[in-house]
Amino acid sequence: MNPSIFPSRLRLALAMLVMLIVGQNVLAQEANRSQRPNPVEAQAIVPPVIYLSTLQNYRPFTDQEVGSWKELNDTTARIGGWRVYAKQAREPDTTDTKPAAKEKETPTSDKAKSMDHSSHTK
């Protein structure tokens, strides 16, 4: 700070204010220390330790019943093979209960617009 900006009385008042604030913080910390038990004292009353195991809600692995692989292969061959599954994955899900008009209102187009960086100039 430039001393010509602050007159000496103002600097003195500012220094006293800072010391007052620091002093109050020190007193508040001392009051907090007196409320805590002394760790050196053997008869100190301390709160009980609470242990919560991370494995408390663990569920062991259980095998799932699966069908015969030969039957599953025959079913896949009867349907038309892996190409039918690939075609189904490309097609939109027809079990959606939402109308097509509401799907267009989703913010996916906004996200695509926000990712378009062609409007930037060099």
For residue 92, give the nearest of 103, 83, 82 by alpha carbon: 103
pLDDT band at residue 103 under the 50/70/90 scheme: very low
Question: Which range scores top for mean pLDDT: 22-26, 32-36, 49-53, 104-108?
Answer: 49-53
Q: Is the dihedral of CA 81, 83, 87, 88 positive or negative?
A: positive
pLDDT above 90 coverage of the chain, percent: 8
- The predicted-structure confidence for 58-96, as pLDDT tens digits, reads as follows 989 888 888 888 998 898 889 888 888 888 888 887 665
pTM for this prediction? 0.24
Going from the C-alpha of 34 to that of each of 16, 37, 42, the distances in angstroms are 27, 8, 17
For residue 6, give the nearest of 17, 21, 22 by alpha carbon: 17
Amino acid at 7: P
| C-alpha–C-alpha distance, residues 104 and 70, integer Å | 43
Instruction: Name the more confident of 12 and 93.
Output: 12
